Amino acid sequence: MRRIFPHLGLAMLLCGLIGACAPQTSVVKLYEDPEQASRTYNRLLIVDIAADSAQQQMFESEIVARLKQDGVDAIPAYTMLDTSNGVTQEDINTAGEQVRADAILVSHIASLDTQVDIIEGRQVLESTCRRGDPVDYFLYDHEIIAEPDSVKIAHTVAVISHLYDGSSHKRVWSIQSTCFEKASLSAALIEEATAIARQLRIDELIE
Protein backbone atom coordinates (compact mmCIF):
# COMPACT_ATOMS: atom_id res chain seq x y z
CA MET A 1 0.00 0.00 0.00
CA ARG A 2 1.36 3.39 -0.94
CA ARG A 3 0.97 6.14 1.64
CA ILE A 4 0.69 9.74 0.64
CA PHE A 5 1.90 12.46 2.99
CA PRO A 6 0.42 15.71 1.65
CA HIS A 7 2.18 17.90 4.21
CA LEU A 8 5.65 16.40 3.89
CA GLY A 9 6.74 18.72 1.07
CA LEU A 10 5.49 21.76 2.97
CA ALA A 11 7.30 20.67 6.12
CA MET A 12 10.56 20.21 4.22
CA LEU A 13 10.14 23.64 2.63
CA LEU A 14 9.55 25.26 6.01
CA CYS A 15 12.63 23.57 7.44
CA GLY A 16 14.67 24.89 4.54
CA LEU A 17 13.36 28.40 5.03
CA ILE A 18 14.06 28.30 8.77
CA GLY A 19 17.60 27.10 8.10
CA ALA A 20 18.14 29.86 5.55
CA CYS A 21 16.95 32.51 8.02
CA ALA A 22 19.02 31.19 10.93
CA PRO A 23 21.84 33.45 12.14
CA GLN A 24 25.20 32.78 10.54
CA THR A 25 26.97 33.45 13.83
CA SER A 26 27.63 30.90 16.57
CA VAL A 27 28.35 31.82 20.18
CA VAL A 28 30.32 29.75 22.70
CA LYS A 29 30.45 30.71 26.38
CA LEU A 30 34.06 30.71 27.59
CA TYR A 31 33.64 32.02 31.13
CA GLU A 32 30.98 33.26 33.53
CA ASP A 33 31.63 34.36 37.11
CA PRO A 34 28.95 32.70 39.27
CA GLU A 35 29.22 35.52 41.80
CA GLN A 36 28.08 38.02 39.17
CA ALA A 37 25.08 36.00 38.01
CA SER A 38 22.55 38.45 39.48
CA ARG A 39 24.34 41.66 38.46
CA THR A 40 23.22 43.69 35.46
CA TYR A 41 24.85 46.75 33.91
CA ASN A 42 23.42 49.79 32.18
CA ARG A 43 26.47 51.91 31.26
CA LEU A 44 29.21 50.16 29.27
CA LEU A 45 32.51 51.30 27.82
CA ILE A 46 33.05 49.45 24.52
CA VAL A 47 36.67 48.68 23.58
CA ASP A 48 37.86 46.93 20.42
CA ILE A 49 41.52 45.91 20.36
CA ALA A 50 42.45 46.33 16.70
CA ALA A 51 45.61 46.99 14.71
CA ASP A 52 43.67 49.43 12.53
CA SER A 53 42.05 52.52 14.07
CA ALA A 54 39.32 52.61 11.40
CA GLN A 55 38.32 49.05 12.28
CA GLN A 56 38.29 49.92 15.98
CA GLN A 57 35.99 52.88 15.37
CA MET A 58 33.67 50.91 13.10
CA PHE A 59 33.32 47.87 15.37
CA GLU A 60 32.88 49.87 18.56
CA SER A 61 30.25 52.03 16.87
CA GLU A 62 28.32 48.97 15.68
CA ILE A 63 28.26 47.42 19.17
CA VAL A 64 27.23 50.77 20.70
CA ALA A 65 24.40 51.15 18.18
CA ARG A 66 22.98 47.72 18.96
CA LEU A 67 23.22 48.20 22.73
CA LYS A 68 21.47 51.55 22.47
CA GLN A 69 18.67 49.85 20.56
CA ASP A 70 18.20 47.80 23.73
CA GLY A 71 18.17 50.95 25.85
CA VAL A 72 21.70 50.49 27.21
CA ASP A 73 23.98 53.49 27.65
CA ALA A 74 27.18 52.57 25.75
CA ILE A 75 30.27 54.66 25.04
CA PRO A 76 32.84 53.85 22.31
CA ALA A 77 36.43 53.92 23.53
CA TYR A 78 37.97 55.24 20.30
CA THR A 79 37.19 58.79 21.44
CA MET A 80 39.80 58.43 24.19
CA LEU A 81 41.83 55.28 23.38
CA ASP A 82 43.70 54.34 20.20
CA THR A 83 44.20 50.59 20.50
CA SER A 84 46.15 50.30 17.22
CA ASN A 85 49.36 51.20 19.05
CA GLY A 86 48.68 48.86 21.93
CA VAL A 87 46.79 49.51 25.13
CA THR A 88 47.14 48.26 28.70
CA GLN A 89 44.43 47.03 31.04
CA GLU A 90 45.25 50.01 33.26
CA ASP A 91 44.54 52.39 30.37
CA ILE A 92 41.20 50.68 29.78
CA ASN A 93 40.27 50.80 33.47
CA THR A 94 41.16 54.50 33.63
CA ALA A 95 39.00 55.23 30.58
CA GLY A 96 36.14 53.35 32.19
CA GLU A 97 36.42 55.45 35.33
CA GLN A 98 36.49 58.65 33.28
CA VAL A 99 33.14 57.89 31.67
CA ARG A 100 31.74 56.33 34.87
CA ALA A 101 31.07 53.00 33.22
CA ASP A 102 29.76 50.26 35.47
CA ALA A 103 31.16 47.66 33.04
CA ILE A 104 33.76 47.46 30.27
CA LEU A 105 33.36 45.25 27.20
CA VAL A 106 36.68 44.40 25.51
CA SER A 107 36.63 42.57 22.16
CA HIS A 108 39.23 41.53 19.62
CA ILE A 109 39.39 39.41 16.47
CA ALA A 110 40.86 36.07 17.47
CA SER A 111 40.99 34.62 13.96
CA LEU A 112 40.17 35.64 10.40
CA ASP A 113 39.88 33.12 7.57
CA THR A 114 39.42 34.45 4.05
CA GLN A 115 38.44 32.10 1.24
CA VAL A 116 38.83 33.35 -2.33
CA ASP A 117 37.12 31.52 -5.19
CA ILE A 118 37.85 32.58 -8.77
CA ILE A 119 35.00 31.78 -11.16
CA GLU A 120 36.33 31.49 -14.70
CA GLY A 121 34.75 33.79 -17.26
CA ARG A 122 33.08 32.56 -20.42
CA GLN A 123 32.54 33.64 -24.02
CA VAL A 124 29.07 34.06 -25.46
CA LEU A 125 28.31 34.26 -29.19
CA GLU A 126 25.64 36.88 -29.87
CA SER A 127 24.08 36.90 -33.36
CA THR A 128 22.02 39.69 -34.94
CA CYS A 129 20.08 39.12 -38.20
CA ARG A 130 20.90 41.69 -40.89
CA ARG A 131 18.36 40.81 -43.60
CA GLY A 132 17.01 37.97 -45.72
CA ASP A 133 16.18 34.49 -44.58
CA PRO A 134 16.93 34.10 -40.83
CA VAL A 135 17.91 30.48 -41.49
CA ASP A 136 20.96 31.65 -43.47
CA TYR A 137 23.86 31.81 -40.98
CA PHE A 138 25.83 34.18 -43.19
CA LEU A 139 23.11 36.86 -43.02
CA TYR A 140 23.87 37.40 -39.35
CA ASP A 141 26.38 39.70 -37.66
CA HIS A 142 28.22 37.73 -35.00
CA GLU A 143 29.92 39.15 -31.92
CA ILE A 144 31.79 37.25 -29.26
CA ILE A 145 31.07 38.72 -25.83
CA ALA A 146 33.68 37.79 -23.24
CA GLU A 147 32.62 37.72 -19.60
CA PRO A 148 35.56 38.35 -17.27
CA ASP A 149 36.58 36.14 -14.38
CA SER A 150 34.75 36.90 -11.15
CA VAL A 151 36.05 36.62 -7.60
CA LYS A 152 33.97 35.42 -4.66
CA ILE A 153 35.35 36.23 -1.21
CA ALA A 154 34.07 34.68 2.03
CA HIS A 155 35.31 35.86 5.45
CA THR A 156 34.90 33.75 8.57
CA VAL A 157 35.65 35.81 11.67
CA ALA A 158 35.98 34.72 15.30
CA VAL A 159 35.78 37.42 17.98
CA ILE A 160 36.51 36.97 21.68
CA SER A 161 34.76 39.36 24.04
CA HIS A 162 35.33 39.90 27.76
CA LEU A 163 33.12 41.84 30.16
CA TYR A 164 34.77 43.45 33.20
CA ASP A 165 33.05 44.90 36.25
CA GLY A 166 33.65 48.65 36.34
CA SER A 167 34.26 48.79 40.09
CA SER A 168 36.26 45.65 40.85
CA HIS A 169 37.81 45.38 37.35
CA LYS A 170 37.21 41.62 37.60
CA ARG A 171 36.37 39.66 34.47
CA VAL A 172 32.79 38.44 34.80
CA TRP A 173 31.97 37.03 31.37
CA SER A 174 33.67 35.83 28.15
CA ILE A 175 32.36 34.50 24.85
CA GLN A 176 33.67 33.56 21.44
CA SER A 177 31.38 34.50 18.56
CA THR A 178 32.09 33.20 15.06
CA CYS A 179 30.54 34.68 11.92
CA PHE A 180 30.69 32.52 8.81
CA GLU A 181 31.26 33.32 5.15
CA LYS A 182 30.55 37.02 4.81
CA ALA A 183 31.43 38.86 1.61
CA SER A 184 33.26 41.62 3.47
CA LEU A 185 34.96 42.08 6.83
CA SER A 186 32.67 44.99 7.66
CA ALA A 187 29.59 42.81 7.07
CA ALA A 188 31.07 40.16 9.37
CA LEU A 189 31.76 42.70 12.11
CA ILE A 190 28.21 44.06 11.87
CA GLU A 191 26.86 40.56 12.47
CA GLU A 192 29.40 40.02 15.26
CA ALA A 193 28.21 43.21 16.98
CA THR A 194 24.62 41.95 16.80
CA ALA A 195 25.60 38.56 18.25
CA ILE A 196 27.55 40.11 21.14
CA ALA A 197 24.74 42.48 22.12
CA ARG A 198 22.19 39.66 21.82
CA GLN A 199 24.24 37.36 24.07
CA LEU A 200 24.63 40.06 26.73
CA ARG A 201 20.84 40.35 26.74
CA ILE A 202 20.32 36.56 26.83
CA ASP A 203 22.70 36.24 29.80
CA GLU A 204 20.91 39.12 31.56
CA LEU A 205 24.06 41.18 31.95
CA ILE A 206 22.48 44.36 30.59
CA GLU A 207 19.29 46.05 31.78
Measured distance CA(57)–CA(75) in Å, rounded: 11
Query: Model confidence over 65-106: pLDDT tens digits?
Result: 999 998 999 999 999 999 998 999 999 999 999 999 999 999
Architecture of domain 24-116+154-202 in this structure: 3-Layer(aba) Sandwich (3.40)
Does residue 41 sit in helix, strand or coil? strand
pLDDT tens readout for residues 135-193: 554 455 556 666 666 677 888 999 999 999 999 999 999 999 999 989 899 999 999 99
pLDDT of the residue at 38: 74
Spell out the domain ranges in the chain: 24-116+154-202
Residues 143, 126 contacting (CB under 8 angstroms): yes
CA dist 55 to 47, 107, 159, Å?
11, 12, 13
> pLDDT > 70: what percent of the chain?
71
Nearest CA among 101, 112, 42 for reference residue 77: 101
Q: Does residue 77 come out as left (phi exceeding 0), alpha (psi in the -120 to 50 range) or beta?
A: alpha
Neighbours of 189 (CB within 10 A): 24
- Backbone dihedral angles phi then psi of residue 176, each to the nearest 5 degrees: -120, 120
**CA angle at residue 186 from 112 to 54, to 5 degrees?**
95
pTM attached to this predicted model: 0.74
**For the chain, percent of residues with pLDDT exceeding 90:** 61
DSSP for residue 87 = -
Query: Are 117 and 152 a contacting pair, CB within 8 Å?
Result: yes
